[in-house]
Every structure is written in C-alpha cells, then in structure tokens.
Chain A
Amino acid sequence: MLELQRSVIFGQFVDTGSPVHRLDVRVKLVATALLIVASFLVDGFLGFALLLPLLVVLQIVSRIPFGYVVRGSGIFLFFLAVILVFQVFFYPGEADNVLWRWGFLSVSVEGLRFAAILGLRVLLLYHATTMLMLTTSLVDLTNGLEILFGPLQRLRIPVNELVLVGVISVKFVPIFISEVERLSRAYTARGVPFDEGGPLTRARRLGRLLVPVFVGGFRRADLLTTAMDVRCYRGGRGRTKLRRPQATRTDWLVLLLVAAWVLAAWQLPALLGT
C-alpha cells in the first residue's frame, strides 16, 4: 500500500526533543537564512566541503535519522537528478574541454563542474530548510517569522497575515499527503488497486486523486478559517503571546558559530587560493 508520508517529509515536524528543537526559533531562522545565503555565495568544492561538517553536526544533534531524511526526499532527489543531467548535456562548454559529443548533446568539463556546484547549492538549500521544518513546530515557526519581519509592519505590510498564510501553506503539505494515502486506500478497497502495476500505471492512478484532494483541501481551508474566526483571530498588531521566545547565551553562541562557519566556507577558499 501507499505510504507517501515516507517519501515526502516536506513540511513535517518530528519532535525528538533534541537541543536543536529547543533552540530559540529566531536563532534557527537566522541560521537557516545564513545557510541559504551561503548556498549562493560559496562557489567551489572546498567551500561546500567546509560546510559539510556543520550539516553533519546539525543532523546528529537533532536526533533525526539521516536515512529518514534521505528516504523522505526521494521524489525531490529524483527531480534534482533529472535537472542536473539536462544541465550537463546542454551546457555550452569550451570546445577543447568537451569529453563527449552526440548531435547537440555534449558533456564538457565546465558542464560537469557547473552541474555539480548547482547540485550542491540546491542540496544545501534543501537540507537547511528541511531541517528547520523538521525541528520547529508550526506555532514556533509562525511566532519567529512574525518577530523577525515585525519591523516591516511600519511600512504597512501585513506581516502577521502573510507569515500565517505562508506557514499554513507549507504545513498543509503533510495533510495533503495523508489525504492522498487515505483516498488511495478507499480506491483500493473499491477495486482500483494502488499497490499493483508498474510505476507508470501507479502514477496515472495517482492522477485520479487530484480533484478529490483539491476539493478536500478547500473544505479544510474553509473549516480552518471558521475555526480561526470563532477564536476571534484578527491577525495584525497587538496580539500578545503566551510563550515568548527567550534567547539564552547558548542560543547566541550557536548563532555566532554558524555565522563564523558560513563566513569561513565563503572566504577561506579564496584566501587559500591566493
């Protein structure tokens, strides 16, 4: 039977109670932002190699098994691989460095390097954001983003609403996935098996679920707005919080460490090269 929750972990929150989970949410958000920036700034294999230990430490300390993250990223990794293969074949490399050519397809040294760096960038981006979501609850994520973007309210930007919409849409992904599982079970029980046939047949059967899943999504959104209405949610300013994030010295140290590490990964290769 279909167990999609295994293959798509995007948007899930796994509470292992680790020190990463307990970190101040603002620190986690800024650290993630730093890693995202790093994924654009770092431009060489050495830089990414320097960042690797940081991600390994993050993975171990969070107590979320690496295998779970990899298995849960299967679909994403598959698409990434397809895109990278296209990058390699269509990259216009220097004529001297072409390793293989067939019609308009070619493999060049530059193409391989470009695709590898691009792949590393995307993987870093993906890992950082996935770990943020796996280790941060919906409420914390919303609170943290609201605080960080709070100053924009002076420019009359509806920060609370935007953050809430963003966070909810991300957290709807696991709900959609469990909905797909449930529907596939119903279809199977009624004679359209989702556990038989080749990958293509299965994919085609999944297509059948699109309409009911969307209809279900609208119904759920409707319910959610009603639930927020009856609890007098109005968004906007002046909302107080029961739990206010409080950064300890450890939180600041972690942030400093991540910042220093990212800076090192960005600047060290250039310094060593000269």
Chain B
Amino acid sequence: MTEQGDEAPLVELRDFRYTYLEGTPRAVEAARGVSFEIRRGERVGIVGPTQSGKSTVVYALAHLLRLKEGQVFHEGEDVTAPGYDRAALRREVGVVFQRPDFQILEDVVGKDVAFGPTAAGIPAKETRERVEESLEAVGLSYPEFRLRYVYALSGGQKRRVALAGVLAMRAPLLVLDEPMAGLDPRGRREMFDLFDRLGEQRELTMVMCSSSLADASLLCERLIVLQEGRVAMDGSVREVLAEADRLETLGIALPDPVALARELRKVFPDLPADTLTEEELEKALLARLGGSRA
C-alpha cells in the first residue's frame, strides 16, 4: 500500500463534475469534467475568471461538497469510499478561504488558532506550542496577538490569523483560495513572501486559486487554467504564459512583464517569448539592445 501510495498522486480529480442545488430550478453547473493530478511538493496555480469553478475545485479537494463516487482521489483512494476517514482527509488538507471572516470562528486570536488542534483532540500543551509556532510563522508575535480580539484586527492581520489556524493543523497540503484578493501591492508582496517561505520551510504542497495570472505565476511552477468548469490549459508557468493569445481569448489578463514583452516583440521580434519577471525582461532587452549596438 505504501509503495502504491508513493506512486499515487497526492490528489487527483477524474472527470470531476459538480452542480450546486442539482435537480432544482436553481441548479448551477460549476464543474463540467475537471481532471488533473497534483504530486507531493508541487505548487500549482488554478487560474480562471469568476464563475470558472475555482472555488468548487478547492471545496472538492477538502471534501466540502456532496461528492460523487470515483471523481476525487487522495493518495490514490476514492474519498467517497465507504468507511473513508473524511476527518483525517481534512486534517491533511488545509484550506485558506477567500475571506478570512469566512473561517475565523472564535473571537480571540489565540483561541481561533487553537480551534483546529483542539477539535482534533490534540493535548493542550502541544496545542499551545502549535499556536505560538503558527502565529510566529505568519509574522504575528504570540505574546502580542494571543489575546487580541479578532474584530479589532486589520484585513491583512485577519488573513494571517486565518492562515495560522490552518498551519496549526500541520497539513501537508495547503489550499489557498484567492489569497491576495483585496490586498494592496505591499500586502501582496508580503503575503507572497510568506507563502514562499512557508512552502519551503515546511515542504508543503500548495494549490493556489486566483483570478490573477500574475499572482499565481509568481508563487507557482505549474498552472491549470479553468474556463466554464473545464480545464482549458495545464502546464508549466512558462508553457502557459507562452500562449498569450489563447489566454487573452479566455479573458485572463496577462502579467505586466509578459504583456509588455509581447508588445515589445512587435518592435524586436527576436526578443525571447518567455520572460516572466521585470528582471528577466530587462535582462533580455539589454542583451538585445547591447547586441544590436555591438
């Protein structure tokens, strides 16, 4: 079993279909046959416009929907199989919801971060250690924030508390639903650095859902593009970004450096097509200009 488990992807969706309020006049078809695998240690960005089914996929990964048989697999096991330990699955999959208010369940910071471990029956001493560790990991000082009221926190701080609550469960798979939405550029940068650091330190597998291709391409190495509940593209960040025209027809805005490079190629057709960051673009441009001068 362990041998098989090592081979099996961490999570897999096989022709995953989901309709909210199925069989009622208010039914909404959110996923229409989504298939992909995520292997341990991968960082995958799920990108798509609104209503493309991103959040539904997030909920499916943690079994937060009425799933049908044979569509969602965790370590090779069908999560809907009779006797499957859903509680264990949810301890393995840490979901950070779109809005922190959606998942902060207690009124005091320390109590909220301790919520998960307490519900899982972890002894008080260890819970306390986890709370301290998780708060410090997200950049909130434990002595300072432990007894703070959640209502008095800023948006960015709430987001960190929500993340700390998930980290306290020590889940190997971190699922982030629009983690940068509503943050200013500096807040985005800080959050991005935080996720990057956490991913490396804790060897996390990360899935990040975002409507912003720029955000997802910064943090992830692989991108899955969803369109109307189907997978439109799936590949490495460079592979996906290379198909700028297709992304545009899907209604997804290109990251600034990529869009700029695309415009610049009209003037310098030999400029490389896969520059992801401003630095890369600058380097390529200097090389090109330097080359022409020489």
Chain A residues close to B by CB (< 8 Å) = 1, 3, 5-6, 12, 14, 16, 63-65, 68, 71-72, 182-183, 185-193, 195-196, 212
B73 an interface residue at 8 Å Cβ cutoff? no
Q: Let me know if A190 and B105 touch, CB within 8 A.
A: yes
B16 an interface residue at 8 Å Cβ cutoff? no
B123 an interface residue at 8 Å Cβ cutoff? no
Between A and B, 13 residue pairs with Cβ closer than 8 Å are A6-B24, A12-B26, A14-B26, A63-B25, A65-B24, A185-B59, A186-B102, A186-B105, A189-B64, A189-B90, A190-B105, A191-B90, A193-B87
Closest to B165 in A: A190
Report the 5 A-B pairs with minimum CB-CB distance, sorted nearest first: A191-B119, A186-B103, A189-B95, A14-B25, A191-B116
Closest to B117 in A: A191
Q: Let me know if B119 and A182 touch, CB within 8 A.
A: no
Contacts of B183 in A (CB 8 A): none
B169 an interface residue at 8 Å Cβ cutoff? yes
Q: Let me know if A191 and B120 touch, CB within 8 A.
A: yes
Contacts of B87 in A (CB 8 A): 191, 193, 196
Contacts of A6 in B (CB 8 A): 21, 24
- Other than the given A63-B25, A65-B24, A195-B86, 10 more pairs (CB < 8 A) read A1-B66, A72-B24, A185-B64, A187-B105, A189-B90, A189-B95, A190-B119, A190-B165, A190-B169, A191-B119
Contacts of A65 in B (CB 8 A): 24-25
Q: Let me know if B25 and A68 touch, CB within 8 A.
A: yes
B32 an interface residue at 8 Å Cβ cutoff? no
- A187-B105, A188-B90 given as contacts; is B65 within 8 A of A1 (CB)? yes
Contacts of B105 in A (CB 8 A): 186-187, 190, 212
B91 an interface residue at 8 Å Cβ cutoff? yes
Return A50 CB to nearest CB of chain B, in Å: 29
Return B102 CB to nearest CB of chain A, in Å: 5
Contacts of A16 in B (CB 8 A): 25
Return A6 CB to nearest CB of chain B, in Å: 6
- A6-B21, A64-B25, A193-B86 given as contacts; is B64 within 8 A of A188 (CB)? yes
Closest to A64 in B: B25
Contacts of A63 in B (CB 8 A): 25
Give bound CA distance, A6 to B62, whole Å: 22
Give bound CA distance, A68 to B24, whole Å: 6
Q: Let me know if A191 and B26 touch, CB within 8 A.
A: no
Tell me which of A68, A191, A196 contacts B91 (CB under 8 A).
A191
Taking CB atoms and an 8 Å cut-off, the chain B residues in 86-125 that contact chain A are 86-87, 90-91, 95, 97, 102-103, 105, 115-116, 119-120
Contacts of B90 in A (CB 8 A): 188-189, 191, 193
Give bound CA distance, A65 to B86, whole Å: 34
Closest to B59 in A: A185
Contacts of B102 in A (CB 8 A): 182-183, 186
Give bound CA distance, A91 to B86, whole Å: 48
Return B174 CB to nearest CB of chain A, in Å: 12
Return A212 CB to nearest CB of chain B, in Å: 7
Contacts of B169 in A (CB 8 A): 190-191
Contacts of A190 in B (CB 8 A): 103, 105, 115-116, 119, 165, 169
